[in-house]
Amino acid sequence: MKKTKNITIIIAIVIATCIVYTVTFDLNQENRLNKEVDNYLKNGTINAAIKTKNEYAKVEKLIKNDFKNFDTAANSLLEIYQNHSIVELLSAKNMEDDGPKFIETKNTIHTMKKDLDNNIDILKSIIDINEFEKRANKEKLNKYYFDLYKDYHEKSEFESSIDLIIDENIKVYLKLDYLEQTINYLTKNNQLWSIKNNQLISTNDKFIAEYNDLLKSINNI
């Protein structure tokens, strides 16, 4: 009887030790993961190395990948927004060099629109609930770790940041649309204009009025 009691005590100690170890391990892993997320949110830096283990490592991999995709897409869009060549596409020099067919200019506009679309799609996929669940399910996260991943997403305020970026994208896209319309208008009416003394000139009042309206549309965005 005494022997059985001792065995029971030993088993209880082992179970208690396992529980303490598990709780301590989980707290340690979650603290490490919190530090990794906070480092990005405070400093904008991503440590490529995975610092946690087991299920926490899956969450860390997911959220860091979201950080990376966000930064890459946002920076690419910023480059497009700040691209001064957009304005130069309607410069007298470009009209003289690439007009009246504007093949290079049209290719540039097409490429910029495609880059805008691709990067916006990447940002949308980060906050799209279906895409979010696909990423989590691919890693086979249970409810606790799914919710943890979701908490980090909300803490990162992806949605509000991406909404602002998309609003700016709409403006740039609209500007490119009007620019494309203007270029097509110049191509279609190539007999009505020419470049002289670094300026577009025309003797057709209707052409000048319509061209100026297109320029206003671009500048008003």
- 3-state secondary structure string across 131-196: HHHHHHHHCCCCHHHHHHHHHHHHHHCHHHHHHHHHHHHHHHHHHHHHHHHHHHHHHHCHHHCEEE
Give mean pLDDT, residues 164-184.
92
- Going from N- to C-terminal start, the domains of the chain cover 1-44, 53-219
Q: Assess contact for 139 and 62: CB atoms under 8 A.
A: yes
* pLDDT at position 4 over 90: no
What is the pLDDT, as a whole number, of residue 149? Answer: 96
Chain segment 86-138, per-residue pLDDT in tens: 778 999 999 999 999 999 999 999 999 999 999 999 999 999 999 999 999 99
| d(C-alpha 73, C-alpha 56), whole Å | 26
Residue 27, pLDDT > 80, answer no
- 221 Cβ contact list (under 8 Å, min separation 6): 171, 174, 175, 178
**Cα separation of 196 and 210, whole Å?**
20
Q: If residue 199 lies in a helix (H) or strand (E), which one and from where to where?
A: strand 199-201
Q: CA-CA distance, 124 to 116, in Å (whole number)?
A: 12
Q: Which residues contact 203 (CB under 8 A, 6 or more apart)?
A: none
pTM of the model: 0.82
**Least confident stretch, 5-9, 112-116, 187-191:** 5-9
- Residue 46 in 3-state DSSP? coil
User: For residue 40, which of 136, 146, 155, 124 has the smallest C-alpha distance?
Assistant: 155
